[in-house]
Amino acid sequence: MGEHEVTDLGTAVAEAPGTRGRASIRRTNLGAVLGLLRDNGPRSRAQIATDTALPKPTVTSLVAELVGLGLVREGPTRREGAVGRPGTLVHLDGGGLCGIGVEISTSYVHVLALALDGTEVHAHRVPLAVRDRGPDAVLDLTARLVGDCRSALERAGRRPVGLTLAVPGVVDRASATVTFAPGIGWRDVAVAEELRARLDRAGHRTLPPIALDNDAKLAALAEYAQVRGSGVRDMLSLTGERGIGAGIVNDGRLLRGADGFAGEVGHMPLDPARDPCVCGRHGCWETMVGLDAILRLAARGSDPLHDPDVALETRLADLRGRAEAGEPRALEALDRVAHDLGLGLALLADVLNPRLVVLGGYFTYIGDLFLDRLHVMLRTRVMAPRAAGCEVRLSALGFTAAARGGAHLALDAVYTRPVP
C-alpha cells in the first residue's frame, strides 16, 4: 500500500567513495540532523552524534554547514538549577525559509505559512460557500490570498520553498488535479495549473513548486507533528467538517492506499435508511456526524446556527452555550452525534488498532462535551480488551490542521535536500 514517511526524513549513513556518492550521502546526513532537531528539539553536538551514530568530527562539519546555510543556529542554554558554564545547543532555525499551506474547504479558504521551526508567520482565512461559487471564482480568491501571503512574506524577508493545496476529495497528486470532490462539487479541476496561471497573470512569476493533496491526509501530517517523539506511531486523525475524512498513520507512516483512497471513511454507509449523501449513497457516516448533521439536529433551518455569514467558531460557541444551558434540542443533537461517532470509531479501531484518535475540525470546539461517552463506547464495542489502550483526544489545531499540514509538506523539500 502507498505510504508517506512522516517521521525520519533521513537516516545518517557512513561516507562512501566517489564524488557523487559522497555528495548524496552528505545531503542525507544533513537532512538527518535537521529531522532530528525538528522531531526532538535542540541538542548538543555530542548528543547529535549519539542519536545519529555519526562520528563527532562529521557532526561538527555538518552543523557548521547547516549554520552557513542558515538552517540551524548554535546558542547557549542553561538547564534550570544547573551551575557552571551553559552548554551550547544546536537549534533548528531556517532563517527566511517557509512553507505555504492552502486549504479550500467547503466553507472557507485558508492560507497559512510556517517557518522551518514550525512558527506561524502568516495566516488568513475567508469564509466562503465554496460549492455555490464554483471552481473559477474560488481559485480567483485563492490566488489573491496566496498573492497577499507572498507579498507579506517578501516584506518580512522570507522565501517560500513550496506551496501545498488541501481539498476535501480525491486527488491525482501527480498532475495536481482534483479528480472528484463531491463536498465542493468539483470534478477534474487542474488546481495547481489554474492557480499558477492566475498568480502568473498577477505578476507573481517566481513561484515555488505547487502540490495538491487530500485535506484529511494533510491534517494528519499536522496532527502527527504535534505528537511526534511521544511514542505514538499509530494514529487516526479525523476531520470534522461538512465532510468527514481520516488520515491514517501506521507505524509512523501516512497510509495512502494503492490509489490514494485510504481514509475515505466519511462515505462508510453505516445506516442505509438514513439521509442521502452527496456521493449518491444513503446513510454515509458524514451525513450522521458531519457539521451539517449536528447543525440540522440542533436547530431549524432559519436559526442563526445555519447562517454562513457568521463565523463558524461563533456558531459552534452558540451551540455549546445552548447545550451547557440545558436546551433539549441541543443536548439531543450532541447525544445523537456522539452515539453515531462512537459507532464509526469503534469499527475503525477494530480494523486499524490506533493508539490515538485525534478529533479535529468542529469536534475541537464541542467534542469535550461527549468525549467521555466516546471512550465508554470504544471500551464496550472494540473487540480488543480495553479498546487496546486507544485514546481519543481533541485536536489543538482545529480548522487550521489541513493548511498547517500543507505547509509542513511544502517544507519537506528542505529536509530531503538541504543543499542543491
DSSP one-letter string for 7-75: S-S-------SSHHHHHHHHHHHHHHHHHHHHHH--B-HHHHHHHHT--HHHHHHHHHHHHHTTSEEEE
**147 & 280 share domain:** no
**102 & 247 share domain:** no
Q: Which of 92, 112, 144 is the last residue of a domain?
A: 92
In a domain, 223, yes or no: no
Q: Which of 92, 125, 160 is the last residue of a domain?
A: 92
**88 & 145 share domain:** no
Residue 106 Rama label (left phi>0; alpha psi -120 to 50; beta):
alpha
**112 & 185 share domain:** yes
Q: What is the pLDDT along the chain (420 residues), one digit of tens a residue?
A: 444 444 443 445 555 455 557 788 888 899 899 989 988 889 999 999 999 999 999 999 999 999 988 899 988 765 545 555 556 899 988 778 999 999 999 889 999 999 998 889 999 999 898 999 999 999 999 999 999 999 999 999 999 999 999 999 899 999 999 999 988 999 999 999 999 999 999 888 788 999 999 999 999 999 999 988 788 999 999 998 888 999 999 998 999 988 788 888 998 999 888 888 888 889 999 999 999 999 999 999 899 999 988 888 999 999 999 999 999 999 999 999 999 999 999 999 999 999 999 999 999 999 999 999 999 999 999 988 888 889 999 999 999 999 999 999 999 988 888 876
In a domain, 222, yes or no: no
CATH number at residue 195: 3.30.420.40
In a domain, 225, yes or no: no
Q: Which of 70, 92, 114 is the last residue of a domain?
A: 92
Provide the number of structural domains found in the chain: 3
**199 & 240 share domain:** no
In a domain, 148, yes or no: yes
| Residue 253 amino acid letter | R
**105 & 87 share domain:** no
**358 & 409 share domain:** no
**199 & 101 share domain:** yes
Cβ-based neighbour number of residue 92 at 10 Å: 21
**410 & 388 share domain:** no
Structural domain span for residue 161:
97-217+402-416
Measured CA distances, 272 to 280, 284, 295 (Å): 11, 7, 21
> Is 136 exposed, middle or buried, given 0-12, 13-18 or 19+ CB atoms closer than 10 A?
exposed
- CA-to-CA distance for 163 and 206, rounded, in angstroms? 12
In a domain, 207, yes or no: yes
**10 & 155 share domain:** no
CATH number at residue 86: 1.10.10.10
**121 & 196 share domain:** yes
In a domain, 241, yes or no: yes
CA-based nearest residue to 361, from 128, 123, 105: 105
**131 & 182 share domain:** yes
Grid cell of 2 as nine digits = 502507498
In a domain, 226, yes or no: no
In a domain, 224, yes or no: no
